[in-house]
A and B are shown apart, each in its own frame.
Chain A
Amino acid sequence: MTRKEYNKCVDLYSDRVYRFIIKNMKHHEDAQDVVQNAFEKLWLNREKVFFEKARSYLFTVAYRNMIDIIRKVKRIDWVESVPEQIQKSKSKTFELRDSINLGLSQLTDTQKSVILLRDYEGYSYKEIAKITGLTEAQVKVYIYRARKKLQQILVSVEKAI
């Protein structure tokens, strides 16, 4: 990968990696560190990583780094109380987004990661398995459980509203 391609990767993927990580970590500084580490690693390995594979590489590195931090630091607030957080907004879109954020915060880290990789990034189950180090079957189960849980939360939020 050339220097120019690396810079292109920053333009192309930094927002996306960050979006993925921040949804998992909540802490802005930690998420920024993870993104920076991932790009630093990409830069160090630029001779080996092809431009076309850079996206997967960044997500893989960032994901693993994030898991390490989560396990070590253990300062993630997973659960937020649902009813208090809901505010009626003008548009239906906004309501939906709020509810989904609330739902996401109640998933486990793995559930959250796999569903974000699937829905945000459009990765196949096979690719998600590669990034997360899980088997394809595990990925499918995690995604199923995550969707089920989100569904339940959305229903409860609707009732609350």
Chain B
Amino acid sequence: MKINKLNYEVYAIDYIDGTLPQDLEAEMETFLNMHPNIAKDIAMMGEMQLVPDTSIKFTAKNDLKKPMSFSILNYMNWIVPVSLSLAFMAAYPSIRTLWHNDKAASTVIENQKNRQIKPVSRPISSVDISEQSNETNAELTVNEVIQYNKTNKLSSNTKKVVSNNSNNSIDETFNTIILETEKKPAISKAMNSSLLADNERIIAKNDIEKSIIDFGNRAILKEEVKSEQLDFLSAYPNSLNADYTLDTKKIDKLLTRKKGFLPYMAFTIVPLNIGNDLAKTTTITPENQLVRNIPVANDNEIIISNPKSFGVEMDIHLSELFKVGTGFMVTNRNILYSTSNGNTNTDLGIQYRTYSVPFMGALKMPLGSSGLNTLNIKGGAVVNWMGEMNYQANHTGSLDLEKNNTASLFNTTDLTSQLITTNDELTFVPSLQFGLEYTRQLGIGQVSFALDYNRQMSNISTINVWDYDIDTQFRTNQALYNMRYESVTASVKYTLPYRWYLKRK
């Protein structure tokens, strides 16, 4: 016999752990049958494991730490995004000029040579305008139309503009406008005479150019002013003319004199936002980390997987470029369990859910536009008021006692099970967000596609990994992990067509 009273201690621990080879296990059992006292000891021992006393802390950590040789590294979290955004904002006027010089203004004006002038005779809602071509049909940008209505009652404001302008190349541009005389000869006569005046031509030319620049080179009104176009113009009144806005309710009386931007509120639904968490392989610290890999017993890891969210937003557009907003978002992440070789990830069937109410301020700057569709670069700061919970789809023990934290259980070793819970307290978490957004006008409302980089600037969640005894439901605190998220997300958003103006003129 291999196992005897002199050597049984070597095999006893493996026997308790259940890792003894089958032949030895049988031999051990035979031995234990012969020695009931030892068998009794071993039977009692299987239930015991020591648990670390986490209240014992090493207090002189700061004495052990070495100062960072290049301390600016400590602030890279903030410096990189903030300086990038400042640089972009500084360069933005030049970028815009480049875009418009190259793409929009020059081509449109060139295409419109050799046209004839006819006076306009119809109100804006029924102006007959064709697409760009060399045919002798009418073609007007928004501002042109506005200008012709405006010339009937030329204001002191527009005259002031004229006096500051001395552009002699107006004729060429202005000649491109083709107007028909049909129904209202009195107006057309007045317009015609106005149009012939040099001053008015200069105004018209300036507005045309401004319109082209702001509105894109294919923003041509056809037949009627469509509702979404009116929406767009209402959102960007300076695209038309800083002195005018559009009355979306009465199409026949489009122009209303006003000054400045009218702040409005809009509602957006975010049906889908999927993300990829970054920096997964970085080793974490309990204090501060950007990744979701949590080491547990025997170098195995818990991985919090990529986020998927949905929700609603409410934005107040304070100016064309700046908005503030809030909303409610629900984000789901899965929790995986990875074994030490890193090759096998087991989905624990846990949905880890975060609820957040963001308070956001963002700058949105158009990079370019095509008709009513725009491509914007945007950036901003968000403070999320976040709470979390997790719930599990499968576990092997009763968790009735886990009332405050719905919890998830998984086995990591033969000796004990482990339990994951998350902090369910509400926390304020600042984060930064940058990205691109393409907005497309629909018949009703608008749809946006966004690609964003998100980075939380402080920790949010606490993942607790407990040692857990399934039988007694007794748990001891194993470790706490504070996490923060860094991710790239892609989202689809739908903005309702209705707008609530905060003030009206």
Task: List chain B residues, Cβ under 8 A from A125.
Answer: 13
| Bound: A36/B54 CA distance, A | 19
Task: Identify which of A15-23, A68-76, A77-85 touches chain B.
Answer: A15-23
| B52 lies within 8 A of A120 (CB) | yes
| A144 lies within 8 A of B13 (CB) | yes
| B9 lies within 8 A of A141 (CB) | yes
Task: Identify which of B43-51, B363-371, B386-394 touches chain A.
Answer: B43-51
| B58 lies within 8 A of A119 (CB) | no
| Bound: A39/B44 CA distance, A | 39
Main SS of chain B's interface residues?
loop
Task: List chain A residues, Cβ under 8 A from B471.
Answer: none
Q: Smallest CB–CB gap between B33 and chain A, Å?
A: 19
Task: List chain B residues, Cβ under 8 A from A129.
Answer: none
Q: Smallest CB–CB gap between B251 and chain A, Å?
A: 64
Task: List chain B residues, Cβ under 8 A from A116.
Answer: 50
A49 within 8 A of B: no
| A11 lies within 8 A of B61 (CB) | yes
A143 within 8 A of B: yes
| B286 lies within 8 A of A12 (CB) | yes
Task: List chain A residues, Cβ under 8 A from B286.
Answer: 11-12
Task: List chain A residues, Cβ under 8 A from B63.
Answer: 36
| Bound: A150/B57 CA distance, A | 24
Could you mark each residue 57-77 of chain B with 1 if its beta carbon is under 8 Å from any beta carbon of chain A, else 0? Answer: 110110111101100010000
Tell me whether A115 and B52 are in contact in the complex, defined as CB-CB below 8 angstroms, given that A122-B298, A144-B9 are known contacts. no
| Bound: A100/B476 CA distance, A | 14
| B45 lies within 8 A of A19 (CB) | no
Task: List chain B residues, Cβ under 8 A from A52.
Answer: 283
Tell me whether A10 and B9 are in contact in the complex, defined as CB-CB below 8 angstroms, given that A18-B56, A18-B58, A36-B60 are known contacts. no
Q: Smallest CB–CB gap between B370 and chain A, Å?
A: 46
Listed residue (A17, A122, A148, A151) with the most chain B CB atoms within 10 angstroms of its CB: A122
B135 within 8 A of A: no
| B285 lies within 8 A of A11 (CB) | yes
Q: How many positions in chain B have a CB within 8 Å of any CB in the partner chain?
A: 37
| Bound: A17/B68 CA distance, A | 23
| B41 lies within 8 A of A119 (CB) | no
Task: List chain B residues, Cβ under 8 A from A27.
Answer: none
| A39 lies within 8 A of B48 (CB) | no
Task: List chain B residues, Cβ under 8 A from A141.
Answer: 9-10, 13
Q: Smallest CB–CB gap between B11 and chain A, Å?
A: 8
Among candidates B9, B10, B56, B69, residue contacting A19 with C-beta atoms closer than 8 Å: B56
A147 within 8 A of B: yes
| Bound: A147/B283 CA distance, A | 34
Among candidates B10, B14, B51, residue contacting A119 with C-beta atoms closer than 8 Å: B51
| B56 lies within 8 A of A15 (CB) | yes
Contact residues, A1-48 vs B (CB, 8 A): 3-8, 10-12, 14-19, 22, 32, 35-36, 39, 43
Would you list the 10 A-B pairs with minimal beta carbon distance, nearest first?
A18-B58, A119-B50, A122-B297, A14-B58, A120-B52, A140-B13, A141-B9, A10-B64, A39-B64, A144-B9
Residues of A within 8 A of B (CB): 3-8, 10-12, 14-19, 22, 32, 35-36, 39, 43, 51-52, 93, 97, 100, 104, 115-116, 119-120, 122, 124-125, 137, 140-141, 143-145, 147-148, 150-151, 154-155
